[in-house]
Amino acid sequence: MLLSIDASLIDWSRAQFALTAIYHWLFVPLTLGLGVIIGIMETIYVLKGDEFWRRVVKFWMKLFGINFAIGVATGLILEFEFGTNWSNYSWIVGDIFGAPLAIEGIVAFFMEATFIAIMFFGWEKVSRNFHLASTWLTVIGATISAWWILVANAWMQHPVGMEFNPETVRNEMVSFAAVAFSPTAVVKFFHTVSSGWITGSVFVVGVSCWFLLRRREVKFAKASMAVGTAFGLAACFFVMVSGDSSGINVAKEQPMKLASFEGLYDGSEHAPFTIVGPLKIPNMLTFLATHKHTAFVPGINDLLNGGYKLADGSTALSAEQKMFRGRRAMTSFAAFRQANKQGNMALAAVAEKNLQNDMPYFGYGRIQQRAELVPPVNLVFWSFRVMIGLGMLFVLLFLVLTYLQMKRKLNDYPIILYIGVWCIPLVYICSEAGWICAEVGRQPWAIQDLLPVNAAVSSLQTSSVQLTFFIFLAVFTLLLIAEIRIMCRAIQKGPEMSGETKI
């Protein structure tokens, strides 16, 4: 029986997953970034033995706890959705996806959960060094969690280390190392985690600016800002280096995504980087994509029309050629299943061999028109610019604040402090824009080249997906309002004077 999936079901399913992922990502970067900053501050406390730094740590730890608590279980909803809304996808990739997610839950999350209790409850109960170790282990646990989740996501962008088994209709892992340490996973991890460090730094700097503007807790605010700006500058360096590596990786593995980032329709050997409108940097895209001064960067039309030379010397196929091979792969797949059912092993072996020959284009068999292969260019183009533009703003902010701190002129320029405060919401916009680039840019693929979204989605009633979308929107909005209120109340209260931290 043929199953028909209506386009609105796909779009609502995408929207629901996007909403839950965006919501989850509101909490994770602050956990990653603020966690490291707390670790640094507590290290200063233990080395100096100065009770002032203990108060500083306890204040930021309270905010860390609020963010961590509200963020709890936001990721679980995504995992539920894999089973409900993306059941075909879950079956096809379960052998690959399941391993990193299981490791994340068993190792990383339990590590965080264990040591976070000592972080909050152990101040008067354990030694300073043990408490410090617990703080760092909580942060390391959160970072290891991020590693495994990003391994899973990286595999979607660049599937490696597996073979497709047409009998079980599953991708089966043949190399754990290839999956866990793929170049895509490594660059994605460093770029995503360091972006979380920037979120934490901007948050600390922004809140410190707020205290300075109100001339409250001045010593605390200046000390926190010193750590925040120094760590923020280091984080910016890592983000830029990993972002550059990410660009090279995307150019190689997902050239349509790169072309969409740039709105590049016609490729060139000296492709410019578009800042905005007519404002372009000549040759910059070629350099960013290849680290060479002359190299062809294909545009959207080139990727659809094919015919240009690839890095390995072969000629790029057109969309129609890929779709032909994809349909041939589908025919071989259907022939294999039929032969298997009939017990004709010889025919099944031939069909399987033909399938494996066309396997790299398997997903193209589900594409009807070449236009489906182009992601929403405007959304990806502008999200990319929002991410880069705000990233540059944060670099400038950290540099200016570092200079003003060195010259002891922080209070002379209140406008800078106001900008610092306003950067708090902007860093979240920047962070989400990055994920929009990554995930919208890979459309129409659930797994790059192997499984388009229209084959990954479960056959559900569109109305039920719409209903859950609006339920999530309402629940998430309420929870977000609660978190922001609790966080603002804790910030307004300020650091504890007595040294007793309660959360």
Partner 1 sequence: MLRSVLSFYRDGFRRMTTGRILWKIILIKLFVIFIVLRIFFFKPVMSGLSPQQKQTRVATAVLSAP
Q: Which residues of the chain form contacts with partner 1 (CB under 8 A)?
A: 1-5, 62, 65-66, 69-70, 72-73, 76-77, 80-81, 83-84, 87-88, 90-92, 117, 120-122, 125, 167-169, 330, 333-334, 337, 366, 368, 451, 454-455, 458-460, 464, 467-468, 471, 475, 479, 482-483, 486, 490, 502-503
Nearest distance from residue 69's CB to partner 1, in Å? Answer: 4
255: number of Cβ within 10 Å: 21
The DSSP line for 86-131 is THHHHHHHHHHHHHHHHHIIIIIIHHHHHHHHHHHH-TTTS-HHHH
Tokens of 402: 């570092």
CB 41 within 8 A of CB 227: yes
- The amino acid at residue 162 is M
CB 154 within 8 A of CB 182: yes
Residue number, 133 or 284, with CB nearest to partner 1: 133
d(Cα 303, Cα 260) in Å, to the nearest integer? 11
Nearest distance from residue 35's CB to partner 1, in Å? Answer: 17
Residue number, 282 or 376, with CB nearest to partner 1: 376
- Residue 471: what are its φ and ψ, rounded to 5°? -65, -45
Nearest distance from residue 171's CB to partner 1, in Å? Answer: 11
Residue number, 126 or 230, with CB nearest to partner 1: 126
Residue number, 256 or 456, with CB nearest to partner 1: 456
Residue number, 271 or 455, with CB nearest to partner 1: 455
Nearest distance from residue 357's CB to partner 1, in Å? Answer: 18
Nearest distance from residue 309's CB to partner 1, in Å? Answer: 32
Nearest distance from residue 365's CB to partner 1, in Å? Answer: 8
Residue number, 347 or 503, with CB nearest to partner 1: 503
Residue number, 117 or 349, with CB nearest to partner 1: 117
Residue number, 275 or 334, with CB nearest to partner 1: 334
Nearest distance from residue 364's CB to partner 1, in Å? Answer: 12
Q: Is 423 exposed, middle or buried (0-12, 13-18, 19+ CB in 10 A)?
A: buried
The DSSP line for 210-244 is HHHHTT-SHHHHHHHHHHHHHHHHHHHHHHHHHHH
How is the chain split among helix, strand and coil, in percent rounded to 5?
75, 5, 20
Tokens of 432: 């989400």
Instruction: Report which DSSP code applies to 364.
Output: G
Nearest distance from residue 149's CB to partner 1, in Å? Answer: 18
